[in-house]
Amino acid sequence: MNPEQFVNELKQNGFDLTQTQIEQFHHYFKKLVEVNESVNLTAITAEEDVYLKHFFDSITPLIHFKDYFQGSKKLADIGAGAGFPSIPIKILQPDLQVTIVDSLNKRLKFLSDLVDELGLENVSLVHGRAEDIGRDKNHREKYDLVTARAVARLNVLSEYCLPFVKPNGYMVALKGSSSLDEISESKRALDLLKGKLIANLEINLPASNEPRALTLIEKVGQIPKAYPRKAGTPTRKPL
């Protein structure tokens, strides 16, 4: 998917990019490839792959769950790495208030420079493990939306993400393929963490037809104080 195809595909999905937005994505690509030479941000660096597998892939929740992103919502992106999916979503939905949580300072330095260069407002960067930040009163149950892309299996990911979600807010997990088996094994975790499965969409990326899955979970109550457990525990001992 080259940049022109990217713009056309988004237009077909109801997003008519301005020239500023087109230039923001172009700069994002250039910056990603440049910094990736010294900081390991991604294995995907070819322009057509970045536009499809990073930019368009990141925007799929906005396409399929558009109503949930409308208005000045507060969104937290957990383990965003090089800014996916939150920065592409922010470019298309500028009124979102975005907080990115990541454990690696080098990635946050890249994102800090990127946010400044793209002229994005209301983007905060938080250094730390999700399990620790999820206990911080400044972040615990403060967000309307929480996203995570290719971070962990759903039973682990729920413990990373749901502590950030307000009651009646939503978590959106972006997966690389079918997540039906993950949904089945995460039932106990969702019950404990007050998560309710709302939708699980299996989609294909345009052009390549590669499979993806989008899982939407509603937070239906306050999370017990015991969660998240200390850093590392969710991975070692999934709920």
Spatial contact of 195 and 171, defined as CB atoms under 8 Å apart: yes
Residue 137: Cβ-neighbour burial (10 angstroms; 0-12, 13-18, 19+): exposed
Strand order in the sheet with 123-127: 123-127, 97-102, 74-78, 143-149, 165-175, 211-219, 195-204
Is 79 annotated to bind a ligand? Reply is yes
Is 84 annotated to bind a ligand? Reply is yes
CA 127 to each of CA 105, 109, 120: distance values in angstroms, whole numbers, following the listed order: 7, 10, 19
CA 223 to each of CA 52, 145, 147: distance values in angstroms, whole numbers, following the listed order: 36, 15, 18
Task: Write down the H helix ranges in the chain.
Answer: 3-12, 19-36, 47-49, 57-64, 86-92, 105-118, 130-133, 154-161, 180-185, 187-192, 233-236
Residues 6+ apart with CB under 8 A from 151: 78, 79, 157, 160
CA distance 81 to 110: 10
The token duo for 101 is: 């949580």
Is 117 annotated to bind a ligand? Reply is no
CA distance 209 to 54: 14
The token duo for 16 is: 């008519």
Is 188 annotated to bind a ligand? Reply is no
Is 149 annotated to bind a ligand? Reply is yes
Going by the annotation, the residues of the binding site are: 79, 84, 130-131, 149
What are the binding residues for S-adenosyl-L-methionine? 79, 84, 130-131, 149
